[in-house]
Amino acid sequence: MRILAAMSGGVDSAVAAARLVDAGHEVVGVHLALSRQRGTLRTGSRGCCTIEDAMDARRAANLLGIPFYVWDFSERFALDVVDDFAAEYAAGRTPNPCMRCNERIKFAAVLEKGLALGFDAVATGHYAEIREDAAGRRELHRAAAWAKDQSYVLGVLTEEQLAHAVFPLGATPSKDEVRAEAAARGLTVAQKPDSYDICFIPDGDTRGWLAERVGAEPGDILDRSGERIGRHEGAHAFTVGQRKGLSLGVPSPDGRPRFVLEVRPRTNEVVVGPREALAIAELAGSRFTWAGAPPEDAATAFACEVQVRAHGDPVPATARVAGGELVIRPEAPLGGVAPGQTAVVYLGTRVLGQCTIDRTVSADQAAVPA
């Protein structure tokens, strides 16, 4: 096959490309230039997709003897990921930019261009597996190394995208094995640290970045009854479940700490309340997709597991499609789930689909008769 290997400059994508070469595929490496600040250098393990990463990817491609190109996707990344991130926060939601990047850049823009150029598939260094069911339809599954599993952030992939995706590291038992393989191959990135944090906010100051992009305006902090109990310097700085930084002037009646329950951007208000109110009994989203074949009868509630964070644990739940939404009810309430997050639905190790959470129902609200 002719495979386009997305090479980030890290050890995972370098080893993934090397394995494809060993397997006899025609491999071409491509690094995505996503930043408009081309001179930016990463600091330790913060950030990614910098000029330093591009040079690391080129060195790896040269060692493997494969063609290498840098594709400029900075404008599309700014629109589909960076601007989307700011807009979601401005709307009072908590987005996951890695999900948007995988959805709109790596497996939409890149795959579209790759197919147009005659490539059969796009490969990345993600830890996830693609398997085929009895009918030959492709399914997305968790990686063998659950501690490194990245199937959650790939939950946005559709059946068509899975048909042209390759994940050579999916069955690898551990990241240590990948680093050892890289060292044995002479790849200089063998011990390069993993990137973390939001790549376009490499200093980690999300609050400051949002203040510049969204703006900060003082507003009220309310309790669940609507009583004003404090002031804030900008609603965008708060996320559901947050406890620190509230600076409330009125103590709670029982003396217990309060947590952010809701952010209301239209009125510039932040609602706080007890920890118990963070327990979510139902979540739903109208923007949902299936990673492969959908359930035979999605309108009837089916047993599954749901995961709402990249490094979170899956929990038993039921799900169904109703009123144009994917509605998910965990068996036990989930803590601190916010609109804008992604809920990924699993059947065993298989990723069935996902939704961007539009609304949640707290356990105490669900217990109140209609």
Q: How deeply is 295 buried, as exposed, middle or buried, from its count of CB atoms within 10 A (0-12, 13-18, 19+)? A: middle
Q: How many residues does the chain have?
A: 370
Q: 223, 273 in Cβ contact below 8 A?
A: yes
* Distance in angstroms (rounded) separating the CA atoms of residues 237 and 239: 7
- Could you confirm whether 101 is annotated as catalytic? yes
C-alpha dihedral (339, 341, 342, 348), degrees to nearest 10: -100
From 48, 49, 101, 355, the catalytic residue? 101
* Distance in angstroms (rounded) separating the CA atoms of residues 184 and 154: 29
Per-residue tokens: 195: 């990137």
Beta strand 165-166 with 121-123 is parallel
Nearest to 294 by CA among 320, 327, 315, 325: 320
C-alpha dihedral (214, 72, 356, 291), degrees to nearest 10: 180
- Could you confirm whether 199 is annotated as catalytic? yes
Beta strand 219-222 with 269-273 is parallel
Q: 209, 239 in Cβ contact below 8 A?
A: no
Q: 232, 249 in Cβ contact below 8 A?
A: no
Q: 229, 50 in Cβ contact below 8 A?
A: no
CA end-to-end span of the chain: 57
**Which residues fall within 8 angstroms of residue 290, CB to CB, at 6 or more apart?**
158, 159, 352, 353
Question: Which of helix, strand or coil describes residue 7?
Answer: coil
* Distance in angstroms (rounded) separating the CA atoms of residues 313 and 303: 16
DSSP codes joined into one string, 16-29: HHHHHHHTT-EEEE
From 49, 98, 199, 355, the catalytic residue? 199
Nearest to 35 by CA among 68, 86, 76: 76
Query: Could you give the residue numbers annotated as active site?
Result: 101, 199
